Structures are given as structure tokens and as C-alpha cells.
Amino acid sequence: MRLLLIYFSLFLFISCVNRSMEAIDFLIGTWKIESKNQYETWVKDSSNELIGQSYEINGNQKVILETIAIRMIDNKMIYEATVPDQNEGQTIQFASNPEIESYFSFENLNHDFPKQIQYTKISDDEIMISVLGDDGKGFSYKLIRQENE
């Protein structure tokens, strides 16, 4: 009986972890920043993590601005960002704030800027992103889903 309880608890734990990652699946695809020639793209890899990049198109050239990922680390959803010409190329991690349910807020209050990266699903085809620093100051922009990009 005790072994059955352990298996059941483990199953519930794994289900909750997967549900958390599945909740962010709405990001999968290619998104364009409204009124700009910049994009964000996300794919799910074989380990159930989201891997992406932010880029712009200059002429026919794709210029990577940032590589990004969302993965489970130590039972927490972590957003990772690597900007080649910032932070000496080091990846910066932002942990999801589980107390916020209406949008995803990834936070690293020890980082200079940003301290929060927030994703709010407006509809299946629109997302609002807020990039915030001290006292909630920063900027926001809307992403529009692209078809077959």
C-alpha cells in the first residue's frame, strides 16, 4: 500500500510539472513584433522544453538578437535568455512566479535589467510582452502570430 501511495504521489508530481510546461505551449510558433521587422520563434524539443530565438530580418539576412528557452529546473519553470553582446554572453535565468495565474511572469530581481519578463496571452494570435526593471519601469510590445513562417 505504501509503495502504491509513493507511485501515485510521483505520478501527481510529474503530471503537475507537465501541466505547467503545457500551459506555456501557446508560445509555439513564429511571432512578429507589431510594427517592427523583429520576430520571436518557439519550438518544443524532445525533452518537453521550449527553445526559441529573437531575431530581425535585414534585407534577406536573419540576425539573431537573443536565444531563449523555457525549461523545468529543480521543479521550477525557468526562462533563460542569452544575448550575445550583453552579460559577457552568459545566459541569464528568470524563474516563473507561481503566485501569478493570469499571465507568466519570469523574474530575476537580482539582475540589473530586466527584472521581469511577462507573457500575457491576449488570444491565440496575439501576445503582450512586458520587459520591466525597477519599479515596473520598462517597455511592452505586442506579438502577432505568423502563418507558416
Q: How many CB atoms lie within 10 A of CB 65?
A: 15
Fold (CATH) for 2-146: Lipocalin (2.40.128)
Please give the distance of CA 61 from its chain centroid, rounded to a whole number.
25
- Full-model pTM: 0.85
**Per-residue pLDDT tens digits of the chain, which is 149 residues long:** 544 334 433 343 443 444 479 999 999 999 999 999 999 999 999 999 999 999 999 999 999 999 999 999 999 999 999 999 899 889 999 999 999 999 999 999 999 999 999 999 999 999 999 999 999 899 999 999 998 65
- The C-alpha atoms of residue 129 and residue 66 are separated, in whole angstroms, by 15
What residue ranges do the domains of the chain occupy? Answer: 2-146
